[in-house]
């Protein structure tokens, strides 16, 4: 029986890893496995060590560099061995339940896992880049009050295969196999989809290592950004073991307001969080930390808030930029978006202090694909039910 995920508390809900669901056909999905893990799986299935090592190298190339999902198309593997592989293994992709395209070109996919769990990914095309927003969990534990995904319960962590599978599915749709650095439409990845990536650290790390491998998906770590709401104990580990760009969901500069809209602040406060940012390995003026700041009317958008944001960044000597995000509404949301004039005034104060503070253009709002709007369509609750769940979580925070 698969163990249930235990969540010690709503402030610091570190989940106990839950076993990946087995496929109904008994085959092992190779997507998400490292070279060493593929070699081990082949050896366990009966290949001798030399054969397992050779086949693992070949499979890695076909799976991650060329995007092939059919063993019969792997021309350097003996035809007699291809059926043997197909009986025991599969090269999977997430099931696409629904694909939507926004009027601005943003694409959103509702995906389904083998055990019937739904999650989402979003592709945002721009003139000079194409960014894939990747999910790390089914649901979320954190209940950030401005975020639609935060109204979901955490169902389970996504596996490394389900995380890297999102990137591979996008590559399929864009026709970007084999992997090559030039002329790509998909140039950047942000771990900003459903879930808190640092509460699924091992799977996120293993998936991103495959994405960054020069013989695999071959995307530079400088083009990958991991976003966290502030899981302080995991931040340094992420810098050391993954080494990608860091984005922090700050959203407020006082304890009172951040406690309300990002409840994790009650566990890891602003000063502790900013010190962890100052200590983040590899952060410098060429690789600045991004602070995400959602603009909520009459909540966190005053001139005083802007000046305090500048003071905090200077206090901790942070190489930083601030992304100001107009609040993206969703049904029953408890906040409104700041007025455009107020956002501009806030941005100007930060800019005048010498800190970059661009206002992010909302993308995909019409298909609920914008920042803070992701929530699988399979889980729809009444406003009363959402309020009840929010009150339960807040009560647990004490």
**CB-count exposure of residue 104 (10 Å: 0-12, 13-18, 19+):** middle
Is 371 noted as a catalytic residue in this protein?
yes
> 352, 371, 385, 392: which is the annotated catalytic residue?
371
Is 120 noted as a catalytic residue in this protein?
yes
29 forms beta bridges with 90
Q: What is each CA distance from 258 to 35, 82, 146, 266, 305, in whole angstroms?
A: 43, 55, 11, 8, 12
SS3 assignment, position 343 = helix
CA-CA distance, 336 to 196, in Å (whole number)? Answer: 24
CA-CA distance, 124 to 294, in Å (whole number)? Answer: 19
Backbone angles phi, psi at 294, to 5 degrees: -80, 130
SS3 assignment, position 182 = coil
Scan for tokens 């009966």, then name that residue: 46
Helices 232-241 and 270-278 pack at an angle, to 10 degrees, of: 10
> 37, 87, 120, 147: which is the annotated catalytic residue?
120
Question: Would you please indicate which residues are annotated as catalytic (active-site) residues?
Answer: 120, 371
């Amino acid at each position: 029986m698969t163990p249930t995920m235990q969540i010690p508390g709503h402030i610091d809900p570190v989940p106990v890893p839950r076993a990946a669901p087995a496929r109904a056909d008994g085959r092992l999905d190779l997507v998400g496995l490292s070279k060493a893990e593929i070699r081990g799986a082949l050896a366990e299935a009966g290949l001798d060590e030399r054969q397992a090592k050779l086949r693992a190298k070949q499979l890695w190339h076909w799976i991650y560099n060329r995007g092939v999902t059919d063993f019969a198309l792997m021309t350097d593997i003996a035809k007699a061995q291809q059926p043997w592989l197909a009986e025991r293994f599969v090269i999977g992709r997430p099931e696409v339940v629904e694909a939507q395209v926004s009027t601005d070109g943003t694409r959103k996919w509702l995906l389904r896992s083998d055990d019937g769990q739904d999650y989402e990914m979003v592709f945002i095309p721009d003139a000079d880049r194409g960014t894939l927003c990747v999910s790390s969990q089914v649901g979320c534990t954190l209940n950030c009050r401005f975020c639609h995904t935060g109204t979901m319960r955490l169902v389970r962590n996504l596996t490394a295969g389900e995380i890297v599978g999102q990137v591979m599915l996008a590559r399929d749709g864009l026709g970007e196999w084999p992997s090559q650095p030039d002329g790509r439409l998909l140039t950047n990845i942000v771990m900003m989809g459903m879930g808190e990536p640092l509460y699924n650290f091992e799977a996120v790390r293993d998936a991103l290592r495959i994405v960054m491998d020069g013989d695999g998906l071959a995307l530079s770590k400088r083009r990958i950004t991991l976003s966290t709401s502030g899981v302080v104990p995991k931040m340094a580990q992420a810098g050391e073991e993954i080494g990608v760009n860091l984005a922090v969901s700050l959203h407020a500069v006082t304890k009172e307001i951040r406690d309300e809209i990002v409840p994790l602040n009650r566990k890891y406060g602003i000063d502790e969080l900013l010190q962890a940012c100052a200590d983040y390995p590899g952060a410098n003026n060429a690789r600045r930390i991004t602070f995400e700041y959602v603009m909520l009317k009459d909540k966190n958008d005053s001139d005083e808030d802007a000046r305090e944001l500048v003071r905090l960044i200077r206090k901790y000597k942070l190489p930083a930029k601030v992304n100001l995000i107009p609040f993206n509404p969703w049904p029953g949301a408890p906040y409104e978006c700041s007025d455009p004039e107020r956002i501009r005034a806030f941005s100007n104060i930060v800019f005048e202090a010498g800190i970059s503070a661009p206002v992010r253009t909302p993308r995909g709002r019409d298909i609920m694909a914008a920042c803070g709007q992701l929530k699988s369509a399979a889980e729809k609750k009444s406003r009363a039910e959402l309020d009840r769940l929010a009150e339960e979580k807040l009560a647990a925070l004490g």
